[in-house]
Amino acid sequence: MTAPHASHTPHASPTTVNPLATTVDPLADAVVAELDLLGEPALRALDTGLRHGPAALHEPPPAAVVALLRQLESGPSGVDPLMLHRGDVVSLSVPPLWFGLCSLTGALAHAYASPAVAARLARVGSPAAMAPRRLAGTGVWARQTMRPGGLLRGAPGYLATVRLRLLHARTRLTALERDREATGGDASGRVPLAGRGPSSPLSLPHDDERARMWLGLTLVSFRALAAVGIEIGPEEEHYLYRYWSYVAHLLGLDESFYGNVRDHADAERLRALLDTATDAPDENSRALTTAMVDAQARAMAGAPGAVLSEEQLSYLIHSVLRQAFGDGTADRLGVPVPTATDLMPLIGKLNRQSRYWQTFSPASAGEARRRALRGPGPELIATVLPTGGATDRRNGGGEGEGEGGTDGRSRATGLRGGDADGRGGDTGRRGGNAGRQSREADQRSRAADQRSRKGERQKRGGDRLGPGAEPQIGEVDLRVRDAERRGNTGINRQGWESGRRSREADRPGIPAA
């Protein structure tokens, strides 16, 4: 960690930051109050400014809206505009399966670990009913944020992040009004929000959700991914936190909170500090976490092309969360210890092997990112997971491992320039065809066994084919059949016929054609 930091100006340790003070967002609170006061004109001015910038406003806009737009346009130090055009290339090279299974569940569980956050969310609706909506909303926002150009002014990720910031401000205002009514305060609940400081009720720990979600989609996400063998190097860590520093800026987090975080080690210290200022997970935390895991397992098991059962996915998520948070926090969150044999080391090894080919060249890394942008697809892990019933290996073979072989995160995630060498194309093909080749090898082995048994029977004088009989499945060259399916029917059919005549000539009772 010391070498990458050597070129930077010495920075303060995150342990000197008060995370609760830096999660207050008086500017967003003032905008929400202004929107309530002025209505539609203020809302139109805000929307125009977010999409086109302050210069596009023809009439004098409300003061708080102008202040927010200027703050958004300023940007944090160290953010390269080219980086925003490229997107979060580190996160985008995570296969969609593992992003949903590790990153989303880890980020939400980290937010739910705060009892104050969990209590507020529990009041909105039942955990089971709200879990699918929260998973979907968080997933869509994260993907919009990570996509190339997603954080440019007016882009979907930019707009969604600012709206999320204002939604949190609205939630804080609603909670404050509810508390004032409960304690017999001002019936209107209206208070001047713009000047509130750290001693305000709005700076209580229930306001740490944005900070916890930011850490959840950076540090916690990659700790969870490391549990299944998807890891990143120092260069990628620096890119990740530089990119997400702009997300933190748009979310309204104070730069003293995130500005000194440049790698996982810095983020770990910040996470520890945040946890020391937060109470232990409570019953609401456990209910939300359980509902979230159940909803994610159910949704992923029911997705088109899914090869894993709900039981298998629950097993995986529980294993990932326990490794990401540690046994103590996992126990307090109600994450059970998986009863089945722990196959996480094997899954991690498979992921590391498939990622080897993706780190081979920038071309293979780019293909991984393109696949991630296309969204979820079937993945091969069903054949190594415990299950209560039989696993259909046919559904887990070819296509699944092909996806796994071309989708993982990469040490060559585009951070290094240059063109791919001649091996890049072979790399992608070898990774993408790994599953199909494995399936064909298994089929050829079974076919060889069938031919051997048939030959023994024929030597004993039984079970002979007549002159007009068709060859059995075990006698067909599977490689030729696969090539024919790809359209090379001319030469391949000639080869098949030649092979069939040769085999028949050697068999007793079958005249050669």
The length of the chain is 513
> In the 8-state DSSP scheme, what is residue 334?
T
| pLDDT at position 450 | 61
CA distance 106 to 111: 9
| pLDDT at position 219 | 98
Nearest CA among 202, 182, 209 for reference residue 121: 209
| pLDDT at position 61 | 86
Residue 53 tokens read as 């910038």
pLDDT mean across residues, the chain: 73
Residue 391 tokens read as 């696993």
Which segment of 66-75, 216-225, 377-386, 442-451 scores lowest on mean pLDDT?
Answer: 377-386
| pLDDT at position 346 | 60
| pLDDT at position 24 | 76
CA distance 457 to 477: 21
| pLDDT at position 406 | 37
Q: Could you tell me if 114 and 205 are in contact, meaning their C-beta atoms sit under 8 angstroms apart?
A: yes
- Enumerate the domain spans of the chain: 12-325, 438-505
Over residues 173-188, the pLDDT tens digits come to 887 787 777 776 544 4
Highest mean pLDDT: which range of 199-213, 275-289, 413-427: 275-289
pLDDT over 70 at 138, yes or no: yes
Instruction: Scan for tokens 């009913």, then name that residue.
Output: 129
Mean pLDDT of 101-127: 94
Residues of the chain with pLDDT > 90, as a percent, come to 45
Instruction: Scan for tokens 């730069």, then name that residue.
Output: 255
Mean pLDDT of 409-420: 40
pLDDT over 60 at 452, yes or no: no
| pLDDT at position 208 | 77
Non-local CB neighbours of 221 within 8 Å, separated by 6+ positions:
91, 102, 103, 106, 107
Over residues 293-333, the pLDDT tens digits come to 999 999 999 998 888 889 989 999 999 999 999 999 999 99
| pLDDT at position 44 | 94
pLDDT over 60 at 437, yes or no: no
CA distance 320 to 297: 13
pLDDT over 70 at 233, yes or no: yes
| pLDDT at position 474 | 34
Residue 123 tokens read as 């009041």
| pLDDT at position 478 | 38
Is the sign of the CA dihedral 34, 48, 78, 242 positive or negative?
positive
Over residues 381-412, the pLDDT tens digits come to 433 344 443 333 333 333 333 333 334 443 33
| pLDDT at position 78 | 72
Q: Could you tell me if 203 and 22 are in contact, meaning their C-beta atoms sit under 8 angstroms apart?
A: no
Over residues 240-276, the pLDDT tens digits come to 999 999 999 999 999 888 999 999 999 999 999 999 9
